[in-house]
Amino acid sequence: MKFKHVSYLWDDVTAAELAGDEVALLIYRSNLLGADLRLTNYGGGNTSCKVMSPDPLTGKDVEVMWIKGSGGDLGTLKKSGLAALYEDKLLSLKNIYRGIEHEDEMVGLFNHCIYDLDSKAPSIDTPLHGFLPFKHIDHLHPDAAIAIAAAKDGKRITQELFGGKIGWVAWQRPGFDLGLKLKQCLDDNPGIRGIMLGSHGLFTWGDNAYESYVNTLEVIEKCAEYLEENYGKTRPVFGGQKIQSLDEAGRKKQAAAIAPVLRGFCSSERHMIGHFTDDARVLEFINSNDLGRLAPMGTSCPDHFLRTKISPLVLELKADDDLSDTKALKEKLAPAFEAYRKMYTEYYEKCKHSNSPAIRDTNPVIILYPGVGLFSFSKDKQTARVAAEFYTNAINVMKGAEAISEYTSLPRQEAFDIEYWLLEEAKLQRMPKPKSLSGRIALVTGSAGGIGKAISKKFAEEGAVVILNDMNAERLQGAGEEFNSKFGKDAYATATLDVTNAEQIRQAFDTAALAFGGVDIVVNNAGLSISKSIADHTEKDWDLLYDVLVKGQFMVTQAAVAMMKKQDIGGDVINIVSKNALVSGPNNAGYGSAKAAQLHLGRLNAAELGGDGIRVNSVNPDAVISDSNIWAGGWAEGRAKAYGITVEELPAYYAKRTLLNEVILPDDIANACFALVGGLLNKSTGNVLNVDGGLAAAFVR
């Protein structure tokens, strides 16, 4: 089959291997639908199938509905993400339904219908599928269909476009009553192949998995074709272009400059992670004449505004404005954020009910900068990225609706009743509590191996996002692949970084700004070591040590502080120094004195930056041999020679000279860094934390 606007991914061989297992075919179909973001959004939509299965209590065959459970994603759905319910028990709930004013109480009764005890919690959409008689059902949120559903003449267009073969149910909040209305629509229109939900989405079905899949694709394809035929037909798209975008380099430069400032404003209640996109679809909208009319209207589909808030903040800046004066920029932006928070508070106060949850963060999620792009801010990178994707979906919907009719958004009260729905609040309360470093952004220099990678892993495990970096591109690529496998693509970004190169430092912090919105934690870890007698030590050796260890720490900290001050939400700088900063030893003039300079530079920075809420602390390791670059290039041989032992004897030698008789590992240094930033030492700065197994000569006091 050929489709232009959707992807036909069905493989007959794969499907044949699953033949006879309708649940497996449901999962297969769901994964295919979720793989095409033109069909549905991340986490959005729902699919189901009904099969005959033996009742474990009676042994008799009963009809069971398998449906995507609450909070799942079609593209990654597995059997563990499904809920299975007795169909007859679900249908019998109609007998005790007390009316739309009481429909929320029905959700708790879904659990009494559970067939499979390993079921995921049933979603609010359960009755929408259960009350329709079809064996396989797809409920998706395709942009092309929602554009028609959100159009002023959506019902008429649907009837004409599909010749009466697609039913129409006007907007209503998902729930038990909407399920009854879907069944009534089917009863009133026998033979239809699907139902359009006003301002919401699409229901389609089939007698088997394949029929449902193809029916879904065909309906969405027809919607998309209709929209394409009408783009620019009666009026320019979005009223025509109003301003010109900067070129890509210009957009990235402006975005990197302003992102930390925006993040600071959006983090007034809690630290947020950012995302930036200058997707062509976004630029077409934000550069248009209709931006000022459409953006304040907000989105239509509940899945959209639950993640993007009721409307975006549009910046009143020119694309090429000079953003270098941070103070002036903040003064210009502050009234816009104050106005948005006031608008959102008034929206809450006007629409709230006596039992509504407390008002949530009043800052915008979506920020539009005409000529530059879209910024989104949320609790973590994935949520921020998905919010941007959903708003892009909303742009597609507005574009389509305006091409065929006139875009309509949900009334504010309807939107509020979804956003502050008690069932939605209950879902939020069930989510895992944030980890210690959730919302934090860390840049650890030299993080592609050894101590740096261990620190970055620890931070990622505790919820932070990290900017991995290294001079060695191959080593950096390997670290990136490892982090992608362990933590996923949203947990990290990469940047080639030589800490002696000012331009690469700037680019690394630009990477942090574009990928996540800024930086909160900077660990100066990159280093090298040279162990030579004073007679053998060269000027080149000396300059290299001081350039990397001292100048590098200074320049990276300088860049970090500039970004942290843009955000104005404090921050942490940790310097990985050494016991050699305090202990004198042979063959160590350059390295030891450079480490001493690093240590005191940290103290000086702590004294200067406390007023900005930026804490500066140091960790003093010793003899971290495992996976460390510092032991390459002759250092191990040099130290062994200085102590009159072999290289192989070094680990035991270092351990035995400590008070605790312990070998020091990269993870030990990582744990020390986490101790400083994990929340229990927020009132500590200017400290030195020794992680050396106990060396009396290195005691600070």
Kindly list the catalytic residues: 591
Nearest to 86 by CA among 61, 63, 107, 109: 63
Q: To 5 degrees, how large is the angle CA 269–CA 275–CA 277?
A: 140
601 to 550, 597, 630: CA distances (angstroms): 8, 6, 21
Determine the distance from the C-alpha atom of residue 82 to the mean position of all C-alpha atoms in its chain, rounded to a whole number: 24
Q: Tell me the two tokens of residue 509.
A: 């912090």
Beta-sheet pairing, 194-197 with 492-496: unpaired
- At 295, the amino acid letter reads A
Q: What is the DSSP letter of 108?
A: H
Are the C-beta atoms of residues 355 and 425 closer than 8 Å to each other?
no
Side-chain-facing half-sphere of 185: CA atoms under 13 Å: 24
DSSP string, 529-550: -----TTT--HHHHHHHIIIII
Angle between helices 326-351 and 248-266 (to 10 degrees): 60
Cα torsion 439, 445, 448, 449: sign: negative
Are the C-beta atoms of residues 68 and 78 closer than 8 Å to each other?
no
Are the C-beta atoms of residues 313 and 333 closer than 8 Å to each other?
no
> How large is the C-alpha radius of gyration of the chain?
30
| Bridge partners, 47 (sequence order) | 138
Are the C-beta atoms of residues 262 and 41 closer than 8 Å to each other?
no
Q: From CA 563, how far away is CA 506, in angstroms rounded?
A: 10
Find the helix or strand (DSSP H, E) in which 377 lies: strand 373-378
Other beta carbons within 10 Å of 172: 16
Angle between helices 552-567 and 248-266 (to 10 degrees): 70
Q: From CA 264, how far away is CA 500, in angstroms rounded?
A: 28
Are the C-beta atoms of residues 523 and 619 closer than 8 Å to each other?
no
